[in-house]
């Protein structure tokens, strides 16, 4: 099982089926916060939906396609506070796409930046990739700020990149190359 400590109070781990109820609660509690940016939130209606998501992510991980990690805060009781993922791992091009979301109450503490830094190191050191790419809606200033704190370069904007709950979003595309980390 994949487990990666970030610091004394934060860690990443591969999602496990027993996490489905906790993942559903986190999504459900943050529905209003996540829905403007993530279309799948509307389709997460029960713990069974979270269980199916976890089942699919484990299958994709076994095939080397994705790595979806729970972000856990260990201050007090251990709890799931968000997800950080390689939504696509593409060894043929030496690239992975990084995605992330965090429960609203944990924002503003630098936790997601730390988690993403850990994932970027994993991409370069474990997967031997050359580039991590992040796509964020241009209006999602918090997500874009993570990209900037990581030192990622804005490579361009894709107009009309995604429809989320009937709203069309442009995407800012950021890249972070292995040589940028040395």
Pairing between strand 131-137 and 79-90? unpaired
Q: For position 181, what pLDDT does the model report?
A: 73
Mean local confidence (pLDDT), 126-130: 94
pLDDT in tens, 31-71: 999 999 999 999 999 999 999 999 999 999 999 999 999 99
Scanning 30-157, the segments in alpha helix (DSSP H) are 31-34, 47-62, 111-125, 141-150
Q: For position 78, what pLDDT does the model report?
A: 84
Residue for token digits 């970027």?
120
CA distances to 5, 55, 81, 159 from 61, rounded to whole Å, are: 19, 10, 21, 30
Of the pLDDT bands very low, low, confident and very high (cuts 50, 70, 90), residue 182 is low
pLDDT in tens, 61-120: 999 999 999 999 998 778 999 999 999 999 999 999 999 999 999 999 999 999 999 999
Mean pLDDT of the chain: 94
DSSP 19: G
Tell me the three state secondary structure of residue 132.
strand
Q: For position 137, what pLDDT does the model report?
A: 96
Predicted confidence (pLDDT) at residue 10 exceeds the cutoff of 70? yes
Q: Specify the pTM.
A: 0.93
């Amino acid at each position: 099982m994949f487990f990666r400590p970030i610091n004394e109070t934060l860690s990443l781990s591969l999602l496990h089926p027993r996490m489905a109820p906790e993942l559903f609660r986190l999504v459900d509690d943050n529905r209003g916060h996540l829905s403007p940016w993530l279309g799948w939130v509307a389709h997460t209606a029960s713990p069974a939906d979270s269980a199916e998501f976890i089942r699919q992510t484990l299958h994709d991980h076994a095939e080397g396609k994705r790595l979806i990690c729970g972000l856990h805060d260990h201050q007090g009781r251990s709890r799931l506070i968000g997800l950080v993922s390689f939504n696509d791992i593409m060894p043929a091009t030496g690239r992975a796409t990084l995605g992330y979301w965090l429960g609203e109450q944990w924002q503003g503490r630098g936790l997601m930046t730390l988690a993403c830094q850990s994932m970027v190191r994993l991409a370069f050191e474990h997967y031997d990739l050359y580039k991590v790419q992040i796509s964020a809606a241009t209006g999602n200033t918090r997500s874009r700020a993570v990209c900037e704190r990581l030192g990622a370069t804005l490579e361009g904007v894709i107009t009309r990149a995604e429809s989320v709950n009937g709203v069309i979003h442009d995407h800012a595309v950021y890249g972070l190359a292995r040589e940028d980390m040395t």
